[in-house]
Amino acid sequence: MKLLEPGTEVDGFTVLDCIHSGGMAHIYRVEYAVGPPNPGFPLAMKIPRMTAGDGAENIVSFEVEQQILPILTGPHVPRFVAAGDMDRLPYLVMEYVHGPTLDHWLEQPERPSAETIARLGAAMARAVHSLHQQNVCHLDLKPGNVLFTSDDHAMLLDFGLSCHSHYPDLLAEELRKAVGSPAWIAPEQVVGVRGDPRSDIFAIGVMLYELATGELPFGAPTTQGGLRQRLWMTPAPIRQHRPELPEWLQETILRCLEPEAAQRHPSAAHLAFDLAHPAQVQLTARGQRTRGPGAWSHIKRWFKAAGMHYQPSPLPARQIDEVPIVMVAIPHGDVTDATLYSLRQAVARSLGIRPGARLACVTVISTSAANHTDSDRSETSVHRHHLTRLRQWTEGLDLTDHSVSYHVLESNDVAQALVRYAEGNQVSMLILGAATHGLHTQRVVSTIPIRVARDAPCTVLLVKQSLPFAQLAAEYTE
């Protein structure tokens, strides 16, 4: 279909200009021909290319996007407005989002700092996590499909290659080859497995690697053999290109690029957490390397990949539920041993049925306590003291299959601090004791759990003190 001229009217929409002409579709700025100028936001119309030389995947991918976009919600996707008749004139009208794509940072003459890379990566991971919560895998994440309204907020575009676990996968039914953009496609996609949310984590890793080094970790292959190399190849360590970058950043990015999906971050929320809390990243040899593995290592990985059978993953939302971020609020004052014991028991039960879950141990101290600057009680020593207490509290837990991190928050409003932490870190479950959190009046104390339970964006488990301490106390008073 030829480009539409400005002023062309399509089903009540007037074309203003063409803002993108790609290999699979044309995108126009449009507005309503009559009535209100816009529904409160600018509009864009997407029309697929349908010339004789275009492949069948153009129209099939457009059908996929027309199926998926209308049911997506949240702040990380454009709002859907209207769709055209596939038999007459297929089109999609959606919110036109302003902002640079990731290409903006890739085109800069200098590579961004570790802080900028982590901030952009965390924004992408949060957006992808929101998509996975809706049982959708994007499967075509690349710099041109990630737009930023700010450095810490990403929007995802172009769902033509996506997969919704509750809808037929049209691309898998119609096409018998790997579908995706060669530089960013995950190993399991290469062999035909679609619908694994960890494929999107791989794509984020490719983008972060390029942000950090200016190079694509696996190049831009054009053959099936070139694509298959990522099933066993290990990219050069990031610090081989930029020795000044921290080990934690290399650890995080290279983990995204593991050929086996099970070796990557278990969810995009876990990736966002690591990028937002670099001091809590657990370092391995992966983060410390400055040279790539030798030929023998690649040969062994080749043999392993040759015999590997890739299995479809669980539903994205179910997989998120199986490896959640569990947050426990540990009071630091006016708390009994019974409460601490009961919290530990509740956490142990929650982690015991969720292998791979992450535990975030949080305590909230008042701003005045954090700013106390006596010679022997500096701000640093205050934080160190509370971090030590958190680590001591977890000594009775079996954390063999779990990542754990420790956080001291400063706030004079405990409930608000806990809720904001849960919101900012994609926490799935918040375990909270009926403790004072350092406050000394029963009237105020009783409102903290209520406020947290009311405002938290996740499941809240309120824990009362239980045996054996309650029973021992009763026997002692008799």
Task: Encode pLDDT of 318-357 as tens digits.
Answer: 888 899 999 999 988 777 888 899 999 999 999 999 999 9
The pLDDT of residue 375 is 47
pLDDT at 157: 96
Q: Into how many domains does the chain fold?
A: 3
Considering 95, 126, 161, which residue would you say is the last residue of a domain? 95
Rounded-to-integer distance, Cα 196 and Cα 189, Å: 9
Please report, for the domain that includes residue 81, its CATH number. 3.30.200.20
Predicted confidence (pLDDT) at residue 28 exceeds the cutoff of 90: yes
- Note whether residue 366 is domain-resident: yes
The reply to whether 188 falls in a domain is: yes
Residue 2 lies in a domain: no
Q: Write down the pLDDT at residue 369.
A: 63
Q: Is residue 75 part of a domain?
A: yes
The yes-or-no verdict on residue 438 having pLDDT over 60 is no
C-alpha dist (Å) from residue 129 to 132, 236, 357, 442? 5, 28, 15, 39
Q: Looking at the structure, do residues 136 and 246 belong to the same domain, yes or no?
A: yes
Q: Give yes or no: residues 378 and 265 share one domain.
A: no
Q: Are residues 72 and 165 in the same domain?
A: no
Is the domain of 47 the same as that of 117? no
pLDDT tier for residue 24 given thresholds of 50, 70 and 90 = confident
pLDDT over 60 at 441, yes or no: no
- 51 or 87, higher pLDDT: 87
Same-domain pairing of 55 and 156 = no
Least confident of 50-59, 340-349, 390-399, 452-461: 50-59
CATH number of the structural domain spanning residue 279: 1.10.510.10
Element (H, E) at 82: strand 80-83
How far apart are alpha carbons 474 and 98 in whole angstroms? Answer: 64
Say yes or no: 263 and 309 in one domain: yes
Summary mean pLDDT of the chain: 88
Sequence-ordered list of residues with C-beta below 8 angstroms from that of 290, at least 6 positions apart, any chain: 237, 239, 240, 243
Q: Which of 95, 128, 154 is the last residue of a domain?
A: 95
- The sign one gets for the Cα dihedral 152, 153, 158, 159 is positive
pLDDT at 233: 86
Question: Domain of 86?
Answer: 9-95
CB atoms within 10 A of CB 232: 19
| DSSP tally for the chain: helices H, then strands E | 20, 15
Q: Examine the domain organization and report whether 358 and 429 are in the same domain.
A: yes
Query: Based on the domain organization, do 226 and 335 belong to the same domain?
Result: no
Q: Is the pLDDT of residue 14 over 60?
A: yes
| CATH number for position 466 | 3.40.50.620
Residue 150: CB atoms within 10 Å: 9
| For residue 101, pLDDT beyond 90 | yes
**149 within a domain of the structure (yes/no):** yes
- Give residue-wise pLDDT tens across range 352-399: 999 999 999 999 998 876 565 554 456 688 999 999 999 999 998 999
Q: Is residue 3 part of a domain?
A: no
Q: Please tell me whether the overall predicted TM-score, pTM, comes out greater than 0.75 for this model.
A: yes
Q: Is the pLDDT of residue 476 over 60?
A: no
39 pLDDT more than 70: yes
pLDDT value of position 440:
47
Over residues 131-146, the pLDDT tens digits come to 999 999 999 999 999 9
Residues 167, 195 contacting (CB under 8 angstroms): no
pLDDT of residue 272: 98
Q: Residue 360 forms beta bridges with which residues? A: 327, 405
Query: How confident is the model at residue 436, as a pLDDT?
Result: 42
Residues 309 and 360 in one domain: no
Determine what percent of the chain is predicted with pLDDT higher than 90.
64
Instruction: Examine residue 357 and state whether it is found in any structural domain, yes or no.
Output: yes
β-bridge pairing 13-21 and 25-32? antiparallel
Higher-confidence residue of 477 and 334: namely 334
12 by DSSP, 3-state: which? coil
pLDDT of residue 376: 47
| pLDDT for residue 300 | 74
Outline where 12-106 has alpha helix (H): 56-68, 103-106
| pLDDT in the model for residue 173 | 65
Tens digit of pLDDT for each residue in 149-163?
998 999 999 999 999
CA-to-CA separations, 396 to 10, 340, 365, 384, 467, in angstroms, rounded: 66, 11, 23, 20, 16
Same domain, 130 and 77: no
Strand-pair category, 146-150 with 9-10: unpaired
Distance CA 348, CA 402 (A): 11
Average pLDDT (305-314) is 68
Confidence of residue 174 (pLDDT cuts 50, 70, 90): low
Q: Based on the fold, state whether residues 164 and 306 are members of the same structural domain.
A: yes
Reply yes or no on whether the pLDDT at 455 is more than 50. yes
Regarding whether 267 and 120 lie in a shared domain, the answer is: yes
Burial of 311 (0-12, 13-18, 19+ CB in 10 A): exposed
- The pLDDT of residue 304: 73
Mean pLDDT of 263-291: 95
Of the listed ranges 42-46, 191-195, 274-278, the least confidently predicted one is: 191-195
- Among 95, 111, 140, the domain-final residue is 95
52-61, 74-83, 373-382: the lowest-pLDDT one: 373-382
C-alpha span between 328 and 358 (Å, rounded) = 11
444's tokens:
């105020």
- Residue 260 maps to a domain: yes
Place of tokens 């391995």: 284
